[in-house]
């Protein structure tokens, strides 16, 4: 615990952070405190609630008062906690790779800036990621006012250039688009993964999923059409998914807008008819991977369908300075190549690694006389800069950020900075001549100017406490798109050769999460790959290349080449290969280096998402790819039960018709008596989107270790909760089913009877418990578990030799060691916490008072937990639904975790036509 006392040894901080809802009189050991904050991610803010124990943030939840999270999270927010304690983070100012100091940097900065006073900043450049912080944006504007000839550029590899360009084509200016999925009866996605990584995805997932849950006889389920090339979780939720080459989607969009269906696929006519029948109650949404013309066509189609101001709204951009980021970076590169940049400050990002390959950013960067870089890690860009400033983690800093709808949040720190880091605010303040100003003073002063008067203190306290600034969201605009359909440019055309698709990775995104072990080991939703990237393709494309899984191919595109291992994905469009971004790092840290390939080496500014006419050949080499699931077919088994909305209306109890559970009197097991509580869980498969937020949330809450690629290859992963993915050929398309699988807490648990030392036992409240000190590691329980949800510690996976990680662990959960079996506990520590509070108030535990980690993280509200002895509880109501069933219940396990069968809403005419 060498670093556990850091906060106590530091000088008392002058700032006051405000607990969410209420502040306890004293900090009580063992009693958590909760604080509202917000995480800046990919140009937007996500509202969070952070649980803190004795000054240590140990768990992240969504802020229910924040419109971007609505109380839920995604895997990145959950895993950002591990990033805080990452020992590989940059810890000290570096000059040319050598240890230096902040004061030395300030001296060098002042010397450099003094030379720009006479020429008004000519040759002075700043490169940032997307800026949606009102304070930081204002400071950068001040900087440009002080140095009028200086320039501010922005770039992120996964940006919104195409949607911005589409808005420019349709409206003549940049606007942001917002959707009301809760009011949409029909949704057409044109390569849009709106449930995963597009702006507002958590809120969209919540609102979309609520329209997937219906009672018998209801006809309120929405219908989702997805046209895409590479499988996404949005495509997996589709009622009809059409695998189409990405370059061909633009032609389909134009045919939709023109209603000229001659020569188009037969299903397109049915989609057009369905859209016409849902005027004013539909959404056509284009993905960021599609060119601007497709976005402009989507705006036009939504207008013609009468969706504007009903399900589709437009607002002013939330960025301080919205720009075409690829063009902005290109202008900077041209100036560097011409020798017109004397000082460049790169504040965030890693452009040497992630910039388009044709920009040759690293080579041109070397021509700049003074190069300054700030980031969380000493990465590929830091390696080529004269000065590197370690960036403060958002959980250590003050700040502000805007959400996708414009709602502003105040970022407050949960812990004193672990290292000698600085925030972006402090670096820009230093560039403005105020190097001693703290980020707390900077942010607070900015908001005091915005809200002058005697009520500022109450405004500030309330904004920090709730996590949102009242009435800060953008107001809808009253605008209509131009009536002329934009012509399709050459950039959206593709030949008959193979096309290469570039997509953000589901677990490490654009590479910024490469050194996060939780995310590296997290199975990707569709492929279940871990620790690697692969060249994803259809079986037909692989056959054409003569390749199989793990065969290495060489891809040549635009005079550049890359080697990658093949992985066949059902439902992938033919003649297309998907490469995910973010891998192939060499300066990310000890976790992220050396995994996968670097797709950025093929990605260019003219083809950031679709590279046409690639040449691919099999090399004869092999590369081991590791997955956590090898069998994806149902084969007429009833593990996942499903029906259409019409079938459900005709036979509400279809899920029970497949049940073969023995009657109670046939059991040889002694009955268990539950006095006050009988805990149970229900998971709605209609709502589950397979996003994996629950998996990482469980890992963070329960101190679940990481084992590494080699151990995963041996089948020794430690996740207590996994999401199984199944494929089945449906009547109109390939259907995908997600099924979260965790300990079922069986009433007749097969594991309990075979343990020779009673390390696994049954509690009076129905929990299947593990007593770690009794376990001798026979693994009989795991052999006898039909659900395969028990995990055994073959090695001491816990990193006890890393002091920072000792701050990470949840103090209410035992940290297991070698030779011990472990599994899901229904978050028994949360049950006990609620029990203590109820006992203090002399009452029973209320329904909804206990929220498991997986349940809290789920954006789709697919998981419900509670007391089965309370007939009025939500979990009892869910289990009373006719869709409720138990997996493998015919084995007489009587699982406490049950599932609600998945429902879909296919177009009957389209199914019949197929």
For 585, phi then psi, to 5°, come to -80, 155
The radius of gyration of the chain from alpha carbons, rounded to an integer in Å, stands at 27
pTM given for the model = 0.93
Please compute the mean of the pLDDT values over residues 678-697 and round it to a whole number. Answer: 96
| Cα 762 to the center of its chain, rounded Å | 36
| Tens digits of residue pLDDT in 571-611 | 999 999 999 999 999 999 999 999 999 999 999 999 999 99
**Orientation angle between helical segments 424-431 and 134-146, nearest 10 degrees:** 20
E strand spans, 650-693: 679-684
Could you give the CA distance from residue 478 to residue 18 in angstroms, rounded to a whole number?
Answer: 38
Domain locations in the chain? 176-315, 498-627, 642-664+677-904
Could you give the CA distance from residue 866 to residue 854 in angstroms, rounded to a whole number?
Answer: 13
**Which range in 180-194, 207-221, 731-745 is most confidently predicted, on average pLDDT?**
180-194
Lowest pLDDT segment from 11-15, 88-92, 212-216, 370-374? 11-15
Query: Over 90: is that where the pLDDT of 495 sits?
Result: no
Tokens coding 611: 């590279």
Could you give the CA distance from residue 227 to residue 781 in angstroms, rounded to a whole number?
Answer: 45
Query: Over 80: is that where the pLDDT of 21 sits?
Result: no
Give the per-residue pLDDT at 620. 92
For 565, phi then psi, to 5°, come to -85, 145
CATH of domain 498-627: 2.40.40.20
HSE, side-chain direction, 13 A CA sphere, residue 163? 20
Q: In this structure, are residues 197 and 509 in contact, taking their beta carbons and an 8 Å threshold?
A: yes
For 223, phi then psi, to 5°, come to -130, 135
Q: In this structure, are residues 562 and 616 in contact, taking their beta carbons and an 8 Å threshold?
A: no
Query: Over 70: is that where the pLDDT of 7 sits?
Result: no
Neighbouring C-beta atoms of residue 416, cutoff 10 Å: 15
State the pLDDT confidence band at 377, using cuts at 50, 70 and 90: very high
Burial of 449 (0-12, 13-18, 19+ CB in 10 A): exposed
| Tens digits of residue pLDDT in 506-564 | 999 999 999 999 999 999 999 999 999 999 999 999 999 999 999 999 999 988 999 99
Alpha helices in 72-228 (DSSP H): 75-84, 102-114, 134-146, 161-171, 201-210
Please compute the mean of the pLDDT values over residues 723-739 and round it to a whole number. Answer: 86
State the pLDDT confidence band at 684, using cuts at 50, 70 and 90: very high
Tell which residue, 619, 873, 710, 695, has the closest CA to residue 78: 695
Q: Locate tokens 């790959």: which residue? A: 529
Q: What percent of the chain has pLDDT over 90?
A: 81
Q: What's the topology of domain 642-664+677-904?
A: Alpha-Beta Plaits (3.30.70)
Could you give the CA distance from residue 355 to residue 158 in angstroms, rounded to a whole number?
Answer: 10
Q: Locate tokens 């006389």: which residue? A: 369
Please compute the mean of the pLDDT values over residues 126-132 and round it to a whole number. Answer: 96
> Sign of the CA dihedral 626, 713, 719, 56?
negative
The two beta strands, 151-154 and 176-179, are unpaired
**Orientation angle between helical segments 325-337 and 161-171, nearest 10 degrees:** 110
Burial of 839 (0-12, 13-18, 19+ CB in 10 A): exposed
**What is the architecture, at CATH level 2, of domain 176-315?**
3-Layer(aba) Sandwich (3.40)
Higher-pLDDT residue of 666 and 283 is 283
Determine the length of the chain.
Answer: 914
Mean pLDDT (the chain) is 91
The two beta strands, 576-580 and 408-411, are unpaired
| Cα 614 to the center of its chain, rounded Å | 30
Give the per-residue pLDDT at 54. 86
Could you give the CA distance from residue 775 to residue 789 in angstroms, rounded to a whole number?
Answer: 17
Tell which residue, 286, 193, 83, has the closest CA to residue 700: 83
């Amino acid at each position: 615990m060498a670093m556990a006392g850091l906060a106590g040894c530091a000088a008392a901080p002058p700032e006051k952070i405000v607990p969410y809802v209420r502040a306890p009189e004293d900090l009580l050991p063992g009693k958590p405190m909760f604080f509202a904050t917000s995480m800046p991610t990919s140009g937007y803010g996500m509202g969070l609630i952070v649980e803190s124990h004795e000054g240590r943030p140990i768990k992240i939840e969504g802020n229910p008062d924040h419109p971007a999270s609505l109380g839920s999270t995604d895997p990145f927010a959950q895993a950002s906690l591990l990033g805080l304690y990452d020992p590989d983070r940059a810890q000290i100012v570096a000059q040319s790779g050598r240890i230096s100091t902040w004061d030395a940097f300030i001296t060098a900065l002042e010397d450099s800036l003094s030379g720009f006073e006479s020429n008004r900043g000519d040759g002075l450049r700043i490169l940032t990621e997307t800026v949606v912080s009102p304070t930081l944006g204002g400071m950068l504007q001040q900087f440009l006012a002080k140095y009028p000839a200086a320039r501010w550029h922005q770039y992120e590899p996964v940006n919104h250039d195409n949607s911005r360009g589409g808005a420019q084509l349709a409206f003549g200016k940049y606007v942001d688009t917002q959707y009301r999925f809760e009011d949409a009866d029909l949704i057409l996605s044109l390569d849009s993964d709106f449930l995963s990584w597009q702006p507002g995805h958590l809120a969209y997932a919540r609102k979309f999923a609520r329209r997937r849950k219906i009672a018998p006889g209801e006809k309120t389920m929405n219908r989702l059409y997805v046209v895409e090339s590479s499988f996404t979780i949005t495509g997996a939720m589709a009622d009809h998914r059409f695998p189409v080459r990405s370059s061909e989607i633009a032609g389909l969009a134009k045919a939709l807008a023109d209603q000229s269906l001659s020569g188009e696929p037969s299903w397109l006519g049915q989609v057009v008819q369905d859209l016409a029948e849902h005027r004013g109650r539909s959404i056509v949404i284009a993905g960021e991977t599609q060119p601007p013309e497709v976005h402009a066509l989507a705006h036009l189609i939504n207008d013609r369908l009468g969706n504007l101001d009903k399900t589709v709204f437009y607002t002013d951009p939330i960025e301080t300075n919205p720009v075409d980021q690829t063009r902005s970076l290109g202008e900077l590169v041209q100036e560097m190549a011409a020798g017109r940049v004397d000082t460049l400050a790169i504040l965030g990002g890693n452009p040497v690694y992630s910039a388009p390959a044709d920009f040759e950013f690293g080579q041109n960067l070397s021509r700049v006389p003074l190069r300054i870089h700030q980031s969380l890690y000493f990465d590929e860009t830091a390696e080529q800069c004269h000065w590197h400033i370690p960036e403060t983690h958002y959980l250590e800093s003050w700040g502000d950020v805007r959400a996708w709808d414009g709602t502003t949040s105040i970022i407050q720190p949960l812990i004193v900075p672990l290292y000698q880091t600085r925030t972006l605010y402090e670096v820009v303040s230093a560039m403005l001549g105020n190097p001693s100003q703290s980020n707390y003073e900077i942010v607070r002063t900015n908001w005091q100017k915005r809200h002058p008067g005697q009520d500022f203190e109450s405004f500030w306290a309330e904004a920090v406490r709730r996590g949102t600034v009242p009435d800060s969201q953008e107001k809808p605009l009253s605008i209509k798109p131009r009536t002329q359909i934009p012509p399709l440019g050459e950039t959206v055309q593709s030949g008959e050769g193979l096309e290469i698709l570039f997509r953000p990775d589901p677990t490490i995104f654009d590479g910024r999460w490469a050194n996060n072990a939780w995310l590296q080991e997290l199975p990707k939703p569709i492929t279940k790959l871990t620790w690697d990237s692969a060249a994803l393709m259809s079986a037909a494309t692989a056959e054409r290349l003569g390749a199989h899984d793990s065969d290495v191919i060489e891809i040549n595109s635009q005079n550049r080449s890359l080697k990658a291992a093949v992985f066949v994905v059902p439902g992938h469009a033919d003649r297309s290969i998907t490469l995910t971004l973010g891998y192939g790092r060499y300066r990310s840290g000890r976790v992220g280096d050396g995994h996968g390939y670097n797709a950025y080496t093929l990605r260019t500014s003219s083809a950031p998402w679709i590279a046409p006419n690639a040449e691919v050949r099999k090399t004869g080499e092999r590369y081991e790819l590791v997955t956590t699931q090898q069998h994806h077919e149902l084969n007429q088994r009833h593990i996942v039960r499903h029906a259409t909305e019409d079938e459900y209306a005709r036979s509400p109890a279809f899920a029970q018709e497949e049940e073969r559970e023995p009657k109670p009197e046939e059991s040889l097991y002694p009955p268990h008596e539950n006095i006050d509580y009988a805990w149970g869980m229900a998971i709605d498969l209609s709502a589950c989107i397979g996003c994996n937020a629950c998996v990482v949330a469980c890992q963070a809450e329960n101190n679940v270790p990481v084992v590494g690629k080699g151990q995963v290859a041996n089948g020794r992963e430690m996740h207590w909760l996994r999401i199984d993915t199944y494929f089945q050929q449906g009547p109109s398309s390939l259907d995908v089913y997600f099924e979260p699988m965790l300990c079922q807490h069986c009433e007749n648990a097969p594991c309990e009877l075979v343990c020779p030392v009673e390390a696994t036992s049954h509690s009076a409240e129905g929990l299947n418990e593990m007593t770690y000190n009794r376990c001798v590691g026979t693994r009989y329980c795991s052999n006898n578990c039909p659900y395969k949800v028990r995990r055994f510690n073959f090695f001491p996976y816990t990193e006890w030799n890393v002091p920072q990680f000792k701050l990470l662990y949840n103090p209410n959960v035992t940290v297991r060691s070698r030779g011990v079996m472990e599994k899901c506990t229904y978050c028994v520590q949360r049950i006990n916490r609620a029990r203590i509070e109820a006992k203090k108030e002399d009452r029973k535990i209320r329904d909804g008072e206990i929220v498991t980690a997986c349940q809290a993280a789920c954006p789709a509200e697919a998981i419900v937990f509670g007391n089965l002895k309370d007939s009025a509880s939500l979990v009892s109501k869910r289990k009373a639904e006719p869709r409720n069933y138990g997996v493998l219940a015919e084995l007489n396990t009587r699982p406490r975790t049950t599932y609600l069968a998945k429902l879909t809403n296919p177009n009957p005419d389209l199914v019949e036509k197929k």
